[in-house]
Structure 1
């Protein structure tokens, strides 16, 4: 059976996103900036198309509302009070609310969606709905937290997108930052998990293809970190008063992608294509009708 127009459009957006991601990692100057802007725009477009592929419009709206509210709320709270990420400052350009750049809120929406779908695939469905409702947010939280573990040293000390008041650890990212990601991620995912099932679309022949897309994008995001190592050169940055080679940061973060992100991709693909369809309830889910 032919794939739905939304699925075909989704794969086109994924292809553009991967091309822009690789270009961003391997180029410099204005070319890299344009490619990064294209990558961000295509990721946002992908989330919208993908949400409408797997959920009815009310479900997509509910996800965006939860992600924006939770992401913005905790980011603003931390800037003002130090909870839950610790005190830090964003340096990203563009409009902001409560000290939080809109691009940061958009990043929460995008990353959380990818992690949510990856977790849905990995966890699947249990006979007890509530077991899935509890376990899927936990897995999604660890998935998005794993990405943060990989990317924050680069964001803070290579790209200087933000800075911590009290840096710590080998790569200068305090433990409180990771704890904040886990807290924020879990609240976001658990809130959505409690309400999302009523808006799921019935599985079709295109559902497996649609569920594969986040794994491909997750792979591309990990690849971007690894490709960054190729042009790190001899430049250095300063972490807690000590000079550190950018190549060392990229090398460490690249190694982490193999296990923090690569494992997620492999497991999700195995879950999607394992031989027994009944074991892939994210695809064959008789309980996805409206509640």
Structure 2
């Protein structure tokens, strides 16, 4: 190798690491803003509608931005279409028919709506569906099972659906929506029908399965952000329900259900870090 070629190679290698943190700074800044807004929730008695919308929008932008930067425009577009568009569709059907969640009504406190559904709601599906997908993939890598997409779908869907055990009681108490018949309730979560959790799980299974097919499972060295945001949501929700919102039973039930994937995720990350590369690539 000539001296000029060696110098150019060294220059190229020294420049690349400097570009990557800069390119990925925006999603991390958005994620930090999410944490900041959510920390303020209990300090304001459960937050305001503006804070709720801000937290969801910032989180959704962080998820879409991360998908864009690590997996490309097609992945970001697929996320918005499947999670955002799918969330809007299923919520509008739910309002009209009561399926699959049960009969409920929005109060109008969450701002602009389409088909009766506040736009922040499909944004909420988008913000959590992406981290849930990556949680499912990360845990699927750590299991000895070789069920491929099925393992990811089951784990990712559980990671998404169990979040609602915390979300729904908080939003109902804040007056953002209400249930026409909240019985029978999920044990330990009064005021929220068990049909809602069943509906969330059904929708999450379909949504995560689709996302797992359309968003490439490619190597990514910086998938820490969505995993950290999912874990933050899990741990902070338990703390907020138990300490700040006076719902110890919700903290217990939600903590156990969400912890079925949350605790193994923490163990996997402590052992191996946020490595999401397919096994066949790690063997090389």
Scaled by the length of structure 1, what TM-score is found? 0.77
What secondary structure sits across from 1:166 in the alignment? coil
Q: 1:24 to 1:59 in 2, by over 3 A?
A: same
- Does 1:192 find its partner at 2:211? yes
What secondary structure sits across from 1:160 in the alignment? coil
Q: Quick check: 1:51–1:60 contact (8 Å CA) kept in 2?
A: yes
Greater alpha carbon shift after TM alignment, 117-126 vs 66-75 = 117-126
What secondary structure sits across from 2:105 in the alignment? strand
For 1:10 and 1:72, how far apart are their aligned partners in 2? 24
For 2:194 and 2:211, how far apart are their aligned partners in 1? 26
C-alpha distance after superposition, 1:155-205 (max 9, x if no partner): 22x2122111211125021121111101111111112222222xx5543xx
**1:239 corresponds to which residue?**
none
For 2:120 and 2:275, how far apart are their aligned partners in 1? 34
Q: Alpha-carbon deviation of 1:24? A: 1.8
For 2:281 and 2:145, how far apart are their aligned partners in 1? 11
Counting matched residue pairs gives: 259
Taking only aligned residues, the RMSD between alpha carbons, in angstroms, comes to 3.0
**1:85 corresponds to which residue?**
101
Q: Quick check: 1:151–1:253 contact (8 Å CA) kept in 2?
A: no
Alignment of structure 1 residues 133-212 onto 2, 5 Å: 133-156=149-172, 158-168=173-183, 169=185, 171-197=190-216, 200-203=217-220, 207=221, 210-212=222-224
- Can you give the 5+ residue segments of structure 1 that lack an aligned partner in the other structure? 233-246
Q: 1:217 to 1:256 in 2, by over 3 A?
A: farther
For 2:145 and 2:155, how far apart are their aligned partners in 1? 17
- Can you give the 5+ residue segments of structure 2 that lack an aligned partner in the other structure? 1-16
Q: Once superposed, which parts of structure 1, at least 4 consecutive aligned residues long, lie more than 6 Å away? A: 125-129
Q: Quick check: 1:118–1:215 contact (8 Å CA) kept in 2?
A: yes
For 1:173 and 1:32, how far apart are their aligned partners in 2? 21
**1:68 corresponds to which residue?**
84
What secondary structure sits across from 2:163 in the alignment? helix
Q: Quick check: 2:158–2:258 contact (8 Å CA) kept in 1?
A: no
Q: Alpha-carbon deviation of 1:284? A: 5.3
**1:243 corresponds to which residue?**
none
Alignment of structure 1 residues 21-36 onto 2, 5 Å: 21-28=38-45, 35-36=51-52
- Does 1:254 find its partner at 2:271? no
- Does 1:213 find its partner at 2:225? yes
Q: Which has the larger radius of gyration?
A: 2
Q: Alpha-carbon deviation of 1:225? A: 5.2
